[in-house]
Structure 1
Amino acid sequence: MKRFDIKIISINKKDICMIFSTTYLSPLKFIAEVEKEISSFTNDGIEVIFDFFLSNGNTRERYAKAYFNGVNIVRESFEYTNINKNDSLRSFSAEFYKDSIDKMDFSFLTSIQKKMIAKGIAI
């Protein structure tokens, strides 16, 4: 089973690389694999948003951002960030996890959170 999934999305005419946890293990544990897969999408610099929902839950450490320089994620650029409940990134995350509901069994989510995601509710 793959431990993360990557999607390139465009928001306000800007490409963003979203990395989703797909198990209770953080994608950061597999950073070399993450970097290799990002480089298969682009050799340019791109903003990276991590969604650690399945590994961290809906906490202050759910989202993080960093910069990919075309080869590696710049470690010094990594920081946890707050993404507003009404932000389109949360809606995109909700859709991703709704379409990946089978991965919920490999997470620390509560049954209520799992039901909300199954209904497509951005949490």
Structure 2
Amino acid sequence: MQGYSDVKGEVYHYRSNVPGHRKLAAGDYFVYYRPGEYVIFGAGTIGEIERKKINPEQETRMLTDYYAHVDSYVDFDPALQVREIKDRISFLKDRDGLRGVPQNSIYEISREDYAEILRAAGEHTFL
């Protein structure tokens, strides 16, 4: 099995074994998060999501590749440091450090948190 075929701002590639993979749908708004650096580096909307079976002959461990095509996208320049907005984001507010920041998964956030992230990044495109 190969790595992922992401193209920032164009296609987000994930698999059916990624936590939260069923939560992403066409029309959803999203933010890109880089866990190792604790930064949010862009936001946009999801368009069509393609599905491709991986190893369909192996029914016991059949995975699906998903390719979420991005309809619109804005790059945050500079990237938004999560530490700077931690106290304004509901799922991080009462935690020590940055524990609770989802990594390597698709994680649903509230509309309020999404709006706060965009405001902090100085973007009003998707508000």
TM class by shorter chain equals: 0.3 to 0.5
Higher relative contact order (CA 8 A, sep 6+): 2
Larger Rg: 2
Q: Which has the higher helix share?
A: 1
